[in-house]
Structure 1
Amino acid sequence: MYSSESECRWHLIPISFSLSLSLSLSILADLVITLKDVRVSVPVAIKRGDNANLICHYDMEGAELYSVKWYKGKREFFRYTPKEIPALKSFVVAGLSVERPQSNGSHLTLMAVEPTATGKYSCEVSADLPSFDTMIVSSEMEVVDVPVTKPLITGIKQFYRIGDVVLGNCTSYNSKPAANLTWLLDDKKFSCIAKIHDVYEQRVDRWIEDERPKLMAASASPVGLNPVNYVHSIYDQSSAASSYHHHDGSDFDNQNSDAYMTQIQGNLMVEEI
């Protein structure tokens, strides 16, 4: 009898282990995250008055969608819940106007954006029962005031003699943020390019005649046929808020808090070839 009972115990232990292992695997399977690849496509910059298209990408991995919520900062302004009626809901947030016919569970359109729409936008995606998995991702958007006029080149004359110094100034007025300015030199043509993110780019050219200048030095850094940038980054608002010093010794103070001016000045040396 003792021997028989001993065998029985040895057989029961594997059975108990098998049941425990099966139960553990079942619990782990229920804990697997069903949401994957949640990300947002938000314009880095957009011009004032344009419509902004925001996209929330997600992979439900076979689970049912419970809701998609959009936030500006910490305030919810749009919600999509496919099992509710109505499925689309929008909430009042200052400076935001949702175009409902163009919005759904993945796409969202903001109409005629103003500078107050600048900020962080977040998309929160939630799966339905049993997991209720939730993921949230964010991205920044900036509403840009672009200049109404092209950049202005001053100080470059039409004719120069060998050995003359070419002193040129390029100015881009009234933008937010400040435009990024770049000088280009190509044979007898001087070019200034003003750019703000990928929403604004304007170029102006000036030609000189008779003598071909050979660039020796610049006030900020060496200049060749490649673009050279003389100004602060467009993200550096300190350049927009401070006073600018002209080459004639005078100061320019920005009197309009909503208007930003960038100014660059390069001293170009000409030598005899």
Structure 2
Amino acid sequence: MSICLTFISAGTLLQNVPSELHWWDMSGDIEGSQGLRLLDIRVPQYGELHGSVTMTCDFKLEDTKLYSVKWYKNDFEFFRYIPDNSPQTQSLPVPGILLDLSSSNMTTITLIRLGFNSSGTYRCEVSTEAPDFKTVVGSGDLSVRGESPA
């Protein structure tokens, strides 16, 4: 799995780190990341056809308020969590995505009934409220495997 973490502060790209690692510990000081840190993003490398997968996006807020957590597949938004909205969670239609909303929240999403079109790059984007508008982003690739009925 390939993970790319990007740290953005007030719209300025500060760091872009590609890696073959499955896990990142962002506990060290990174310029511009005070107030919001991405601790861990987990996107399974493989999912089974017709099965389910759980993805996580763990972050830490320090003296700032969460604005939103959004998930994207191949740059198309399919899930958002906004704590000040009612309801707090919203699912958006994207081909290949079927969410179990009862087990999807601020840090975790579960995709069910995977199809081959569920394969792709999944990105989690976490943003804080004004005045800082800090954003951290992490991503990973999921490949769905299995056999189609003949």
Q: Name the TM-score, length of structure 1 as normaliser.
A: 0.41
Amino acid aligned to 1:51: S
Counterpart AA for 2:124:
C
Report the Cα offset of residue 111 of structure 1: 0.8
Question: Paired residue for 1:82?
Answer: 83
* Number of residue pairs the alignment of both structures matches: 119
Query: Partners in 2 of 1:76 and 1:102 — Cα distance?
Result: 18
Q: Which residue of 2 is the match for residue 106 of structure 1?
A: 107
- 8 Å contact kept, 1:38–1:135: no
Q: How far 1:143 sits from its partner (Å)?
A: 0.3
Q: Does 1:37 align with 2:43?
A: no
- CA distance in 2 between counterparts of 1:32 and 1:141 reads 27
The superposition leaves residues 101-141 of structure 1 with CA deviations (integer Å, 9 ceiling, x where unpaired) of 11000000111111100000000000112211011111000
Greater share of strand: 2
Retained in 2: the 8 A contact 1:96–1:117? Answer: yes
Q: Quote how far apart the aligned CAs of 1:51 are.
A: 0.9
Work out which of the two has the higher radius of gyration on C-alpha atoms and give 1 or 2.
1
Give CA-to-partner distance per residue, 1:196-246, whole Å, 9 cap, x none. Answer: xxxxxxxxxxxxxxxxxxxxxxxxxxxxxxxxxxxxxxxxxxxxxxxxxxx
Corresponding residue for residue 22 of structure 2: none
Indicate the structure with greater helix content: 1
Alpha-carbon RMSD: 1.9
SS of 1:98's equivalent in the other structure is coil
Matching residue's letter, 2:41: V
Give the TM-score normalised by the residue count of structure 2: 0.73
> Does 1 or 2 have the higher relative contact order (CA < 8 Å, sep 6+)?
2
Q: Is the 8 A contact 2:38 2:57 kept in 1?
A: no
Alignment of 1:141 onto 2:137: no
Alpha-carbon distance, 1:86 to partner? 1.3
| Structure 2 residue ranges without an equivalent (≥5) | 1-31
User: Can you give the 5+ residue segments of structure 1 that lack an aligned partner in the other structure?
Assistant: 1-30, 147-173, 175-257, 260-273
The Cα of 1:55 is off from its aligned counterpart by: 0.5
Q: Decide whether aligned partners of structure 1 residues 125 and 32 sit closer, same or farther in structure 2, where only a CA change above 3 A counts.
A: closer
Identical amino acids, percent of aligned pairs: 33
Q: Which 4+ residue blocks in structure 1 deviate beyond 3 angstroms?
A: none
